Amino acid sequence: RELARCGARVGLFARREDRLNALAQRIRQEGGWALPLPGDVAKRADVHAAVERLVREGGPVDVLVANAGRGMHGEDETNAQAVADVYSVNLFGAVYAFEAVLQDMRRRGAGRIAVVSSGTALLPRLAASHAYASSKEALGRYFEGIGRELRCEGIYVTVIYPGFVRTEMTSGHKWMPFALEADHAARLIRRAIEQGRRRY
């Protein structure tokens, strides 16, 4: 909604089609342009198909925000499949999206990529889940490194390390110091993307 309010055409990608449709409708009612793109970020083919459709219907991708996140809620963190499921969303989902937009951004010599890591990547002792914190730390390390290489091509990569934000994902947390409302966090993130910050 924040990007749409600034005049961007937005593609909305997530698994729950009903939620996507409701959000797209809200954006349109506010005067924006939105295309719901249902799919699973952990599936490379879904991500690439969504980007291809968005480009056909909305034009080239100028800004990618990779914001998907999955926590560990009561699962056994020594179970390899459970850990792999977290990494497939938190790390590889962002890599798939990045891969899907990079070639065209390189061709145009311009683009903005923002990936949402977590404050727990910087302060892992605060994390309730080792799998979550380490996946977000890997995300930041990968994209900060790639970002240094891409700046000379006109592509700016911003890694966001938010603290607590009040969302559905954090609704069960009892202790959330300095928590931000989602709209406020979105405005701060949008500014960091516009400024081309390496990390925020």
Token pair belonging to 136? 């977000």
Distance of CA 191 to the CA centre of its chain: 15
132 is catalytic: yes
8 Å CB contact between 97 and 51 = yes
**Pairwise CA distance, residues 84 & 123, whole Å:** 22
Selecting among 96, 132, 142, 156, the annotated active-site residue is 132
CA–CA distance from 110 to each of 34, 74, 89, 147, 153 (Å)? 22, 42, 26, 13, 7
E strand residue ranges, the chain: 9-14, 33-38, 63-66, 111-116, 155-160, 165-166, 180-181
Catalytically annotated residues: 132
